[in-house]
């Protein structure tokens, strides 16, 4: 499914990725806010196509451009027992506090939170976790 949104003219490049962090209060009265804020908060998106349509914007210098985006998968550590390609799981973030660990970003990924229903796209690899050796890195949608 194609997702349409608006992004600042200076950021409108195919392949650019961004996290949608939610609406800004200065945009409450804008007639285009429905198009700008139709994405899921906290998720990463990638621009796949840029349309010719431009609009003026109070927030972005140079206005905004209509773009097509797609939601990007998230790499995260999940239990081996849940790691079946195509399965739908309820994600649970690790409670590990080892910030220096090589897998910290996979145990605490941006764009997904405990309780989210996600689909396991594929298994990327194993972890060498010293706290829980029953984890794998998976691509989640």
Give the whole-angstrom CA distance, residue 74 versus residue 112.
Answer: 7
pLDDT score of 130 more than 80: no
Contact of 49 with 14, CB cutoff 8 Å: yes
pLDDT score of 9 more than 80: yes
Give the whole-angstrom CA distance, residue 107 versus residue 92.
Answer: 9
Tens digit of each residue's pLDDT (9 = 90 or more) over 48-95: 999 999 999 989 999 999 999 999 999 999 999 989 999 999 999 888
Contact of 30 with 61, CB cutoff 8 Å: no
Would you give the distance in Å from CA 48 to the centre of its chain? 15
Environment class of residue 106 by beta-carbon count within 10 Å: exposed (0-12), middle (13-18) or buried (19+)? buried
Give the whole-angstrom CA distance, residue 42 versus residue 22.
Answer: 7
pTM above 0.75, yes or no: yes
Starting from the edge strand earliest in sequence, which strands make up the sheet with 3-8, in order?
A: 3-8, 64-71, 44-55, 17-19
């Amino acid at each position: 499914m194609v997702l349409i949104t608006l992004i600042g003219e200076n950021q409108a490049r195919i392949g650019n990725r961004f996290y949608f962090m939610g609406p800004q209060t200065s945009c409450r009265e804008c007639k285009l806010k429905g198009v700008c804020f139709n994405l899921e908060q906290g998720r990463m998106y990638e621009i796949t196509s840029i349309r010719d349509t431009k609009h003026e914007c109070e927030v972005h210098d140079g206005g905004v451009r209509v773009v097509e985006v797609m939601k990007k998968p998230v790499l995260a550590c999940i239990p081996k027992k849940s790691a079946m390609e195509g399965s739908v799981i309820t994600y649970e973030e690790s409670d590990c506090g080892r910030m220096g660990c090589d897998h910290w970003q996979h145990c605490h990924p941006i764009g997904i939170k405990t309780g989210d229903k996600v689909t396991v796209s594929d298994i990327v690899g194993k972890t060498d976790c010293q706290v829980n050796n029953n984890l794998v890195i998976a691509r989640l949608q």
